[in-house]
Structure 1
Amino acid sequence: MAINPVPDHVPSEMVRDFSLFTSPGMAPTPNGDPHAAVACVHAGPPIFYSPCNTRGGRGTWVITRARDQRRVLQDTETFSSHRSIFSSALGENWPMIPLELDPPAHGVFRSLLNPLLSPKRVMVLEPAVRERAITLIDRIAASGTSCDVMKDFAFPFTVSIFLRLLGLPDHRLDTFVGWAKDLLHGDDVKRPAAARTIVAFIDELATKRRKEPVDDFMTFIVQAQVGGRRLTEEEVRGIGVLVFVAGLDTVAAAIGFGLAYLARNLKDQELLRREPDRIMLAAEELLRAYPTVQIIRVATKDIDFEGAPIRKGDYVSCATMIANRDPAEFECPNTVDLAREENRHAAFGYGPHRCLGSHLARREIVIGLEEWLARIPAFRIKKATAPITSGGHVFGLENLILDWS
């Protein structure tokens, strides 16, 4: 990974050797704990400069305190979300919508999409979500006493829900998961190739739905209007790509990290089996302890922020995994306490850009845990195997082999 030089305006004493991509524990690691590795930043200054904290090797200011991250994410005038993170991998410059739009355009598109993922809509989807979880887990239970839970449950479960939302068939599930892995965790060759494939797929789906509308998300988008006009092809692509990418990896990872924790902590596992009413609260704590996303903003003007001379164009990192381990925000932040109340975690971000799909994600995680614990006996990580964790823009988990023999 090429590292850009530290800009002249950054004082040398504010530079720290830290990266969500290259620090110890961030590379794919058997039995790793990247969340604990990241938590060590709280022993240092509340804001510092990391010379290499993006996939492209760019430096970012790192905001460590949860309250300061909220200030950044709330202030859309000073800290823009328009980075074209996906399209730049293709040498292009269009935003994922609404994630990479700033107000007032952001609000227009957010209002358009909110009803599709509202709590009310999620209630309608819930029976299908539960049915899918039960089908997968029953199949796993019938086929033996161990499984690769990411491959056999977490990905097929979350991705199939998302495919149903998009109106796409299940039989392409493995293909889509492969694209997501290449995009989020692949190298400099796989990533742009996956991006091109996804764009071509979204464009093709949009064209198809314009000609043959059905009752699904993409038909809604190609027929929708903002300000009395239909959406442009680029806007349809920006929405389609965001929904596609957001639906493929993060919720599966959240379920995986949660099950890995319970596999290692049998008392907590037994508690949730005995008292399933606690699962909803427990899911919030697992989201706090094991969030997966780094949020980056771009400074729109020069500003002195908590003593840091941030200049126009600088990248500012608000990593959820750092905010959620802030000792000023959470008592014993590195301890998982499944009874933790008033859990103001940042797993879904904060401010106007708070995750649009958070209601659906929460229900998927809770239902996934409920049905897994109801159908699979006491489980551990299989002897002589090791889950592999990785840091980066989105934290990941694979090779999680659970055993209940």
Structure 2
Amino acid sequence: METMAARPIPAHVPPDMIGNFSLFSSPGLEPTPNGDPQAASAVVHDGPRIFYSPVNTRDGKGTWVITRAQDQRRVLQDPETFSSHRSIFASALGESWPMIPLELDPPEHGKFRSLLNPLLSPKRVMALETAVRERASVLIDRIAASGTSCDVMTDFAFPFAVNIFLRFLGLSDDRLDEFVGWANDLLHGDNVKRPAAARTIVAFIDELSADRRRQPVDDFMSFLVQSRIDDRPLTDMEIRGTGVLLFIAGLDTVAAAIGFDLNYLARHQADQQWLRDDPKRIVLAAEELLRAYPTVQMIRVATRDVDFEGAPIRKGDYVSCATMIANRDPLEFADPARIDLAREDNRHTAFAYGPHRCLGSHLARREIVVGLEEWLKRIPTFRIKSGTAPVTYGGHVFGIENLILDWSQEDAA
């Protein structure tokens, strides 16, 4: 979660457009007990529409920061000007292959998106729901039987979300802790842990694809090695890029979302009771919690020189479209700092926007809703355990840890 020293500010950036802001290390965005990093990121709405931050990536490369939701949508809908090809994963290895389809631009992007969309369609997600609900209930029943408090991230959020995705990939969860450790090192580790984790994940994906070529089964990797694009098999690098993306995507984001949601409900007893009184409200409430507590920022790379709302963006510049900033835009949402679980017409961008809108959004939504439904059904009124404080942090993926929930009568007294 550290940030390296900023590089020199490019000569084309006007001095009055420089802002010292970082989603990694600005106040409230570094690891903080009882923090609210999404609210901390909203401070940018007190400033200019767009500015240049010299410290807003892990490697010290500056980014233009887009603060308005409507401007972010324009960037995210224009892949010709703002490319997704950053090789963010491969760069940790000193390489430059894309994660697929996230880091492909049209028209290649559309080919792989069309290939993968049916695997995570609403119909396919409905077919998975029984397994999702069963996994949630088993974990929560185990928690309820073992006492009146738990570390909800390690005991529920990660085992639940990661198990579902590993099942989708055709993997058992006997290595769940190991996989989560790889993701933590990759997303939040230092400059030694990140490349080591990247190498480990690549080796795992390459080995898995080789195994499925030799002996296919009914799983995602077998689907990939047997698929065709433009009437040809996928290359080894294309299989690696797709496998790495889906492996990483399932290891952190949904678990973090569930953690932020339960943290909110633990601190707002009236809202918690409101959902208990009518569980049908959880679907709408989950959308508001996605708006209020998104976890990712999208970064694009300018493919040409362009003046964007007065900003002289030049070819090669990074452009940051952070969901947590867009989702707190006062021009987009009435009273954006207020969490209103009955908010209607919720145009949040927690799953991004445009052609690269999250491929797994349907599954993620169902996991979050089912997780909250089963938790509220099985666990009595809960709160943050006295004497503990969850730690939140910003970064490429926002997160929360040490979230100790308690539902004992003694703690309620």
Q: TM-score interval w.r.t. the shorter chain?
A: over 0.9
Q: Paired residue for 1:223, among 226, 231, 242? A: 226
Match of 2:329?
Answer: 326
Q: Paired residue for 2:267, among 231, 243, 264? A: 264
Residues in 2 aligned to 1:304 and 1:2: alpha-carbon distance in whole angstroms: 27
The amino acid across from 1:94 in the alignment is W
The amino acid across from 1:181 in the alignment is N
Match of 1:214?
Answer: 217
Are 1:154 and 2:181 counterparts?
no
Question: What percentage of aligned pairs have identical amino acids?
Answer: 78
Residues in 2 aligned to 1:270 and 1:392: alpha-carbon distance in whole angstroms: 32
Q: CA RMSD in A?
A: 0.4
Structure 2 counterpart SS, 1:48? strand
Q: Unaligned stretches of 5+ in structure 2?
A: 409-413
Q: Paired residue for 1:297, among 295, 300, 313? A: 300
| 1:2 to partner: Cα distance | 2.5
Q: Paired residue for 1:7, among 7, 10, 31? A: 10
Match of 1:365?
Answer: 368
Q: Paired residue for 1:376, among 342, 367, 379? A: 379
Match of 1:273?
Answer: 276
- Superposed structure 1 runs of 4+ greater than 3 Å apart: none
Residues 221-245 of structure 1: CA deviation (Å, up to 9, x unaligned):
0100000100000000000000000
Are 1:89 and 2:92 counterparts?
yes
Residues in 2 aligned to 1:261 and 1:66: alpha-carbon distance in whole angstroms: 24
Q: Paired residue for 1:138, among 113, 137, 141? A: 141
Match of 1:392?
Answer: 395
Q: Give matches, 1:112-261, under 5 Å.
A: 112-261=115-264
Structure 2 counterpart SS, 1:349? coil
Residues 152-187 of structure 1: CA deviation (Å, up to 9, x unaligned):
000000000001001111111010011111111111
Residues in 2 aligned to 1:24 and 1:310: alpha-carbon distance in whole angstroms: 27
Match of 1:107?
Answer: 110
Residues 71-110 of structure 1: CA deviation (Å, up to 9, x unaligned):
0000011000000000000000100000000000000000
The amino acid across from 1:372 in the alignment is W
Structure 2 counterpart SS, 1:115? helix
Residues in 2 aligned to 1:53 and 1:292: alpha-carbon distance in whole angstroms: 15
Residues in 2 aligned to 1:93 and 1:304: alpha-carbon distance in whole angstroms: 28
The amino acid across from 1:154 in the alignment is A
Structure 1 counterpart SS, 2:405? strand
Match of 1:44?
Answer: 47
The amino acid across from 2:385 in the alignment is K
Match of 1:66?
Answer: 69
Structure 2 counterpart SS, 1:296? strand
| 1:3 to partner: Cα distance | 1.2
The amino acid across from 2:341 in the alignment is L
Are 1:16 and 2:16 counterparts?
no
Are 1:287 and 2:271 counterparts?
no
| 1:341 to partner: Cα distance | 0.1
| 1:26 to partner: Cα distance | 1.4
Match of 2:78?
Answer: 75
Residues 183-214 of structure 1: CA deviation (Å, up to 9, x unaligned):
11111111111000000000000000000100
Residues in 1 aligned to 2:93 and 2:5: alpha-carbon distance in whole angstroms: 18
Q: Paired residue for 2:357, among 342, 354, 359? A: 354
Residues in 1 aligned to 2:54 and 2:351: alpha-carbon distance in whole angstroms: 26
| 1:309 to partner: Cα distance | 0.3
The amino acid across from 1:83 in the alignment is R
Q: How many residues are aligned here? A: 405
Residues in 1 aligned to 2:14 and 2:5: alpha-carbon distance in whole angstroms: 21
Structure 2 counterpart SS, 1:49? strand
TM-score, length-normalised on structure 2? 0.98
| 1:27 to partner: Cα distance | 1.3
The amino acid across from 1:45 in the alignment is P
Residues in 2 aligned to 1:2 and 1:92: alpha-carbon distance in whole angstroms: 22
Residues in 2 aligned to 1:21 and 1:124: alpha-carbon distance in whole angstroms: 38
Q: Unaligned stretches of 5+ in structure 1?
A: none
